Amino acid sequence: MRVKKEIILVSSVIILFALLLFLPNIIDLIPSKEVKFEIAVIISLLVFLLLIYVTYSDIRKSGFTTTVYIVLLDIIVIIVLVVLTYNYIYTYIHKSNEINIEILLRNINIRTVSLLVFLCSSILKNFLESKRFKKK
């Protein structure tokens, strides 16, 4: 029984979505700030490398008429991941002793918009990689 690449891609995007959704709650359980910082950086780098690999494979195979749009979606997702990671590391690690409601609300808004972009881009990418856009 063969597993299709689409199923693996969709499941990895769902796992990535869930991981990014619960990442602040998971990291907040760790008492040491140094360990929090290192785990946040390692997880962000792993996700970043996964996105770079997916983008590279989309550029290399070029099996769709919508390859340019697929690569643009990948680049948008990478930029959103960088913004989300920077926001998390800067506010929760370096400024965690200052509690300001405006900063917390801004962080929640940034995280919500980022996760919605991840979800919408994965749906759009699946549409752009459908059978109707394959090259002949």
pLDDT digit string (tens) for the chain, length 136 residues: 566 766 777 777 778 777 767 777 777 777 777 777 777 778 778 878 888 888 888 888 877 788 888 888 888 988 988 888 888 777 766 665 666 777 778 888 888 888 888 888 888 888 888 888 777 5
pTM (predicted TM-score): 0.67
What's the pLDDT score for residue 96?
Answer: 58
Closest C-alpha among 77, 78, 111, 76 to residue 92: 111
3-state SS assignment for residue 63: coil
Amino acid letter at 97? N
105/66 Cα distance (integer angstroms): 37
Q: What is the model's pLDDT at position 108?
A: 82
The whole-number pLDDT of residue 1 equals 52
Residue 52: per-residue pLDDT: 86
